[in-house]
Amino acid sequence: MILYGTRFGATQGIAQEIQKGIQENGIETEIYDLKEHPSKNLPSSLKGHDGIIIGTGIKMSFWTKSVKKYVKKHGAELKQKQDKLGFFVCCGMANKKEEIGPAIEKYIATRLDKSGLKPALIDAFGGVYDLSDTSLMSGMNKKIISGILKDEEGWENVENKTYDFRDWDQIRNFTQKFVSLIKNS
Ligand SMILES: Cc1cc2nc3c(=O)[nH]c(=O)nc-3n(C[C@H](O)[C@H](O)[C@H](O)COP(=O)(O)O)c2cc1C
């Protein structure tokens, strides 16, 4: 079962790619956007699932509310399944290869440490800055991001462009590792 939280759609794309990869290995998967599926509409128990993947986008250092809520509510059950649990974040910090390790530490390890949850597989994937007309970002968020790209990265004419930093090889590699976990159970 794949569960994810997204604000602008980038994590959804990753979750769907992971689903595709798992299914190509002949394993059935269910996928849920946690915002659209309140817990009453989700399978009430994790028992029927051989493995679980949870993914969240990051904004202002925070997971999405729906993922935070889910992990809090199902912490004990997830802990029992943590050897078959994958957890990933999709964030701007991981756009740079050398920042992937620190992003895992900052957005996953230190947060889960508090609950004692240790997923078998964790990763941080780069994100998307969609500054186009069809973007799900508000005008305000677009302004913040274009300011950062100009001031911190020195990029010019960023308006109306889309920057996609998701590394599909990294995502497929994560998927294969997860499939191995499931198959070796
Ligand atoms: C307003 C805003 C704040 C953000 N804050 C962070 C942040 O604190 N750390 C980070 O690594 N990335 C940050 N990002 C980048 C997002 O994590 C990235 O755009 C990602 O693709 C979002 O995933 P989603 O579309 O699934 O929500 C931010 C993006 C926006 C628009």
* pLDDT tens-place string over residues 156-182: 999 999 999 999 999 999 999 999 999
Q: Which helix (H) or strand (E) holds 41?
A: none
* pLDDT tens-place string over residues 145-160: 999 999 988 999 999 9
**Which ligand 1 atom minimizes the distance to the CA of 130?**
19
93 token code pair: 């910090």
**Residue 54, SS3?**
strand
Point out the least confidently predicted range of 105-109, 110-114, 171-175.
110-114
Q: At what angle do helices 168-183 and 10-23 cross, to 10 degrees?
A: 50
Q: How far apart are CA 65 and CA 69, in angstroms?
A: 6
Is residue 67 lining ligand 1, measured as CB closer than 6 Å?
Answer: no
Q: Are 137 and 8 in contact (CB under 8 A)?
A: yes
Is residue 135 lining ligand 1, measured as CB closer than 6 Å?
Answer: no
pLDDT at 153: 87
Instruction: Tell me the pTM.
Output: 0.96
CA–CA distances in Å: residue 145 to residues 103, 135, 153 = 18, 12, 11
Q: Which residues contact 12 (CB under 8 A, 6 or more apart)?
A: 4, 6, 33
Domains of the chain: 2-127+166-183 (3.40.50.360), 128-164 (no CATH)
Is residue 140 lining ligand 1, measured as CB closer than 6 Å?
Answer: no
pLDDT at 44 over 80: no
CB atoms within 10 A of CB 117: 19
